[in-house]
Amino acid sequence: METAYDNAPIGVFDSGYGGLTVLREIVRALPHESTVFVGDSARCPYGPRSLDEVDGFVQQICAALVEQGVKLIVIACNTATAAGLAHAQRTFAVPIVGVVEPGARAAVRMTRNRKVGVIATKATVGSNAYAEAIRHLDAGITVFSTATPRFVEIAEMGIRMAEGPIEDFISGASKVYIRPEFEEIARDYLEPLRRCDIDTLVLGCTHYPLLKALIGGVVGRNVTLVSSAEETARDVRELLERRGALAQSAHEPERTFLTTGSDVEEFCRFGARVLSMEMADVRSIAL
Ligand code: DGL
């Protein structure tokens, strides 16, 4: 029997650079897949906006990706997932995967004392999407959610401040985000959560894995930090396998990057840092 395959690209998007932390895991898990990434830098941040407004952006970007011929879309943004995943799944024929459910699953698997913290943007926390997704999997878990909007700003700032690939940022030894002014903000946000005796903290925004060293330094080693990137990449792999829609192993993957921002060169330079990979094909896109 002939094996089915599909060499069409996977579409991935975020409000900015954060979604590249998810794309990185997808590329690791599925190295033969072509990808098209959209970074909506012109409208970043999404977090302070209303869910309705972000839902509109999700519809627009999914339509643009479908036009690019993608076979599957990953909403690599928690805010956009909370605001528009269900609506987009109803609108478009291609499968669409969000990051909230995978993150919730990872947290449920990790917690021992069943006290889970969630940090995310204002819109994501307001939507209650994580608390619902976690309790859907285990109704006995207590979820403590806190909006930490300034972390998006700090993450984007750090990308601009440091040289070198972001692995260096994420490592425990990274000093990029360990600055008194950032630590003070992190302590203000995270101390109340620490006092709730959580053993697991969901990084409920795709920008936050960049701040692992800063966040981990405040909550301490006994709290496990969970992000959805790896779990989402696993979901994508399974979904494509099930549909017989993986790319052929001999397929030479193409990587396209589209930004709504005005500075394509900057997107290319900073994005490569998060992705730890050259971003050769970067273009602007008007939505
Ligand atoms: N990276 C996005 C998320 O996962 C949010 C960043 C923003 O506020 O635009 O929620």
The Cα 74–Cα 78 span in angstroms is 11
Question: Does residue 26's CB lie within 6 angstroms of at least one atom of ligand 1?
Answer: no
More confident residue, 100 or 209: 100
- How many angstroms separate the alpha carbon of residue 79 from the centre of ligand 1? 6
Residue 38 banded pLDDT, cuts 50, 70, 90: very high
pTM as predicted: 0.94
Q: What is the mean pLDDT of residues 144-164?
A: 85
Give the model's pLDDT for residue 200.
98
The pLDDT tens digits of the residues spanning 189-224 come to 999 999 999 999 999 999 998 898 899 999 999 999
Q: Which domains does the chain have, with CATH numbers?
A: 10-98+230-284 (3.40.50.1860), 101-228 (3.40.50.1860)
**What atom in ligand 1 is closest to the CA of residue 18?**
1
pLDDT tens string 65-93: 999 999 999 999 999 999 999 999 999 99
247, 33 Cβ separation under 8 angstroms: yes
272: pLDDT confidence band, cut at 50, 70 and 90?
Answer: confident
- Please, which pLDDT band fits residue 169 given cuts at 50, 70 and 90? low
Burial pattern 98-136, b for ≥16 Cβ within 10 A else e, equals: bbbbbbbbbbbeebeeebbbbbbbbbbbbbebbbebbbe
248 CA to centre of ligand 1 in angstroms: 33
44 is catalytic: no
Peptide bond into 31 cis (omega under 30): no
62 is catalytic: no
Which pLDDT belongs to residue 270? Answer: 85
> How confident is the model over 177-190, as pLDDT tens digits?
778 899 999 999 99
> Is 105 close to ligand 1, i.e. is its CB under 6 Å away?
no
What pLDDT does 158 receive?
A: 79
The rounded Å distance from CA 40 to ligand 1 centre is 10
